[in-house]
Chains A and B, each alone.
Chain A
Amino acid sequence: MRNPELTRSANPATNRRMGHGSNFRHRALLALPLMGALATAGCISVNAPDKPIVIELNINIKQEVVYRLAQDANATIESNPDIF
């Protein structure tokens, strides 16, 4: 009669430890690009707030609006020669 029970039951314990160690290393590797992304994001936000906010706002103005207002704006300029 053979006993199906494994001999040297200490083996799985060492295996588990190895597995645990590699898993931890994997997690560390996965976290690296995330940390890198955080670092570069920080760099960009330092460079961004410079000045051309006004020009960015003006991009939203459409040509048809400009055409609609042109005649009135011209009359306004003509009637206020001290400030134009």
Chain B
Amino acid sequence: MDGVTLRTETMTKVSMRQSFAALAVVGLTLGTLTAPAAAQNRDPAYSAARAAGQVGEKMDGYLGYVTPAAPALRAVVEDINIKRKAVYADKAQANKATVEEYALTSGCLLIAQTKPGEKYQAPDGSWQTRGNGPPLRDSRCP
């Protein structure tokens, strides 16, 4: 009788461990499936143009053309700028600010977040290449 109870105990332990492992696997797969949906990455054309220095971050919170862009790239960039404006407008209203105020603040942060080699607009309006040091930013930037 003792032998039987011991066997059932180990059986339940094993099955519990298995179910935990199964749960973990389900959790992992769910995580990997939902992560890309929530955090969609940049359009490849935009990423390439950004890396190549064709487009840069402007002071006003929108993307600008450093060099004359082809119509295909222009379409991608305009689409992003329209979406940015929609987000700025939504968030500005929530924070009782104007779209321009929210966009300029975002521009400050986006210029600060540029990676070395990427282009950004300096306070004098000129295009600059981000180096390893801090970028040239508006005096009001945080």
| Chain A positions near chain B (C-beta within 8 angstroms) | 52, 54-55, 57-58, 61-63, 65-70, 72-74, 76-77, 80-84
Collect the chain A residues with CB atoms within 8 Å of residue B83's CB. 80, 83
Q: Is the CB of A82 within 8 A of B43?
A: yes
Collect the chain A residues with CB atoms within 8 Å of residue B91's CB. 72-73, 76
Collect the chain B residues with CB atoms within 8 Å of residue A68's CB. 95, 97
| Chain B positions near chain A (C-beta within 8 angstroms) | 39-43, 59-60, 80, 83-84, 87, 91, 94-95, 97-98, 100-102, 104-106, 108-110, 113, 125, 139-142
Q: Is the CB of A58 within 8 A of B84?
A: no
Collect the chain B residues with CB atoms within 8 Å of residue A72's CB. 91, 94-95
Q: Is the CB of A65 within 8 A of B108?
A: no
Collect the chain B residues with CB atoms within 8 Å of residue A70's CB. 105, 108-109, 142
Closest to A67 in B: B142
Q: Is the CB of A66 within 8 A of B95?
A: no
Collect the chain A residues with CB atoms within 8 Å of residue B139's CB. 63
Q: Is the CB of A65 within 8 A of B101?
A: yes
> A69 is contacted by which of B40, B84, B97 (Cβ under 8 Å)?
B97
Q: Is the CB of B40 within 8 A of A66?
A: no
- A73–B91 CA distance with the chains assembled, in angstroms: 8
Q: Is the CB of A58 within 8 A of B60?
A: yes
Which 4 pairs across A and B sit closest by C-beta, in order of nearness?
A63-B140, A82-B40, A69-B105, A70-B142
> B125 is contacted by which of A55, A62, A69, A83 (Cβ under 8 Å)?
A55
Q: Is the CB of B102 within 8 A of A69?
A: yes
Shortest distance from the beta carbon of B89 to any chain A beta carbon, whole Å: 11
Closest to A84 in B: B110
Q: Is the CB of A81 within 8 A of B95?
A: no
Quick one: which of B97, B105, B108, B139 has the most chain A CB within 10 A?
A: B105
Additional pairs, 7, CB under 8 Å, beyond known A66-B141, A68-B97 = A62-B140, A63-B139, A63-B140, A70-B105, A73-B102, A76-B106, A82-B40
